[in-house]
Amino acid sequence: MPIKEPENFNLFSYLLVLIMTLLGAIASYAYRILNGEEFRWSILFLQAIVAIFAGALVLLAANYYH
């Protein structure tokens, strides 16, 4: 089985990671809303940024460790 170089990952892989991290951020924030916290767009946006950053780190680690 050939080793995939980071240049060989296509756009679909990156888009899938982005969608999954955004869904995780939304699910986490929805849980906080269900527990009584007031909805604020700024908190949702900041949580999405953190999730995207974490997803990018996981993607980089996956590329590094094959």
pLDDT tens string 36-63: 999 999 999 999 999 999 988 988 888 7
Q: How many CB atoms lie within 10 A of CB 55?
A: 20
Report the share of the chain in percent with pLDDT over 70. Answer: 86
Query: What is the pTM assigned to this prediction?
Result: 0.71
How many domains in the chain? 1
Chain CA centroid to CA 25, Å:
7
Task: Give residue 61's domain range.
Answer: 38-66
Is 6 a member of any domain? no
